[in-house]
Structure 1
């Protein structure tokens, strides 16, 4: 059974006449009659009663028409959906990210633009620590990860999107909180809430290499993997912490952020994906990100 035969059958059933159907379909009537005979032979039933001035559906024909009438349009819709999927306008996109990413305008703007341009794509978002994100990415559970300070290699490609400064977060009621900027040397021997090395190993090592250059030995009183927990402890007055400058977009109560004059270690925001597995939907998201990164800032 061929799709064209279904198309021909529906046209004849609606016209109730081989001649009128052949004119509508723009094919010769003998060819149309031959295709219907082949279809009836394949099905093993008579679909039409041949009348002196036209045709009439048999009971089998009426049943077949009810089942087949919407099929050509369904197939056309399926073809359109397939083409949309190939262009990244259908399907799904699974993105993971660490919390701080949500506070940088680039990512919310990119997600908003992607949703607007691709309403047929199911967008699934997962907030997880870096280690969990990379494990999920390698196992094919996500399509891309938004993390900091990741380098390409081992089958993964890292696209650098933006650099974020490291700032000092201090309890708002400390004397130091009255300043706008300070030296990282104030951390020497002071109570400090740290972040686990497993969260961002490259950044962790860069920070501590700079500490050694400055002769800074912090007094770590706690360690966390998530910045929300870290900042909550700063707010309680337990100590200071190094933070992503993105956090300044949503300053927690009881916390002040200071620029560091001698610690220029950057947090490099990257989108990481499997090198050999870029779906059309992911390609469209990357295209949007690159467009936003290259666009001038408002007012510039």
Structure 2
């Protein structure tokens, strides 16, 4: 049984006339009659009683129509859903991100616009470390990721989005806390808390090189895996830290953030996704995000 035969049968049943159904369906009447004969032969019952003017359903045809109407509606919904999925308007999107990147700027703006324009898409947002995101991209567990300073890797596409500065986080009781700015030379000998290099290799190397050039020889007395843990130590008065400027948007109670004008290190925020099979839903998100990116980040 073909989908076209179901459509033909329902049209004839509702119009009670082969000729009018043929006109509606834009099919030659002999071809329509032949399809109905094939359908009757396949299911083994007579569906129509031929009349001098038109047709009417047999009892078997009445039952057949009653059963087919819900099927037709489901087919129409399935077709609409398939078309929406092909256009990216429906489906699922699993997006990894660094939490601090979503507090302002391009990330929350794009997510909000995507939700408004593609309400039929189930958007799953997963806050993960850079390393976790890269591993999830390789295994197909994420459709795309928003990561700072990702390293190029075969099979993955990287698109720079924005550049974020770094700031100094100091305990509220530190003598530096009330200063409007701090110079790199002021940090020589200061107790600094940093990242473990594996968590963000490029940021670690760039910050370490900048500190060394400014005369800081002490390294980091503590190294943590994420900025939330780093700021917890700063909040406890255990040292200072150089962190993403977005952290000032959610400051711990006993931490002050101070610009460091001569710290020439930037965090490059990138959108990363796997190459290969197309994903209409993911591609719609990529289009929206790239339309907002800062050209200076390239």
Residues 280/25 of structure 1: CA separation in 2 closer, same or farther (3 Å cut): closer
TM-score, structure 2 as length reference: 0.91
SS in 1 for 2:197: coil
**Cα deviations across residues 158-215 of structure 1 (Å, max 9, x unaligned)?**
1100111111000112110010111223333322221111111111111112222222
C-alpha deviation, 1:88, in angstroms? 1.4
Residues 274/39 of structure 1: CA separation in 2 closer, same or farther (3 Å cut): same
Match of 1:38 in 2: 38
* Count, aligned residues: 295
CA contact (8 A) 1:190 1:219 kept: no
CA contact (8 A) 1:99 1:227 kept: no
- Looking at structure 2, the residues matched to 11 and 275 of structure 1 have their Cα atoms a distance apart, in angstroms, of 46
Match of 1:280 in 2: 280
Listed as ranges, the matches of 1:178-257 within 5 Å are 178-218=178-218, 220-257=220-257
C-alpha deviation, 1:281, in angstroms? 1.6
C-alpha deviation, 1:235, in angstroms? 1.2
- The gaps in structure 2 that reach 5 residues or longer are none
C-alpha deviation, 1:282, in angstroms? 1.7
SS in 2 for 1:182: coil
- Looking at structure 1, the residues matched to 11 and 155 of structure 2 have their Cα atoms a distance apart, in angstroms, of 54
- The gaps in structure 1 that reach 5 residues or longer are 296-300
C-alpha deviation, 1:2, in angstroms? 2.4
Match of 1:4 in 2: 4
Match of 1:21 in 2: 21
TM-score, structure 1 as length reference: 0.90
**Cα deviations across residues 55-82 of structure 1 (Å, max 9, x unaligned)?**
3323432232123224444434333322
**Higher deviation after alignment, 73-82 or 250-259:** 73-82
Listed as ranges, the matches of 1:89-128 within 5 Å are 89-128=89-128
RMSD: 2.1
Q: Which runs of 4+ in 1 moved over 4 A?
A: 51-54
Residues 142/50 of structure 1: CA separation in 2 closer, same or farther (3 Å cut): same
Residues 277/191 of structure 1: CA separation in 2 closer, same or farther (3 Å cut): farther
- Looking at structure 1, the residues matched to 46 and 167 of structure 2 have their Cα atoms a distance apart, in angstroms, of 81
